[in-house]
Structure 1
């Protein structure tokens, strides 16, 4: 499965966010550190982090990443979207490659 998620803390947490521009990049970096050590394939973009793995592994990483970001606020917002295709692997890059092939063929 692929799981795309985004976390953002709000309020005051045990760890302070530096700067006064409203950025939560420190909290996102803490969440991504959890993702990086998980061993699951992932991709970061400007809005979401997408993981690939099985249900239990992906959701455990999302939970731990949410908790890491949550240390920066008294609450945390989580947006999650999943593409569940049992038996498929390599879809983190495979889905994009198939679309790019179709685009190239239509030119």
Structure 2
């Protein structure tokens, strides 16, 4: 399963980057395969792993702010793994060249 996670806090005294850094730290410690992007974080894992991760991120953000808006997009495909890197490699193969992928490949 691939998931794109985006969190926005409302009513906190801290800048967004400081709070998002806390969620990225949680994601990194989860040991799931992930890729930070400018607009969110892509994560690969099973349903339970991803929902546990979302819950942990929400809890940390709610300690620091009055409101958390979470946008979660999920692509769940049976029997598939390593899709985070695999999907990028498929496009690079189709183009016949490497792409700028923020360290994904």
Q: TM-score, normalised by structure 2?
A: 0.86
Q: TM-score, normalised by structure 1?
A: 0.84
Which residue matches 2:52?
60
Aligned length: 97
Matches within 5 A, 1:1-107: 1-12=1-12, 16-17=13-14, 23-104=15-96
Q: CA RMSD in A?
A: 1.3
Q: Structure 1, residues 30-71: CA drift from partner, whole Å, max 9, x if none?
A: 111110111111110000111111000111101111222222
Helix, strand or coil at the partner of 1:3? strand
Larger CA Rg, structure 1 vs 2: 1
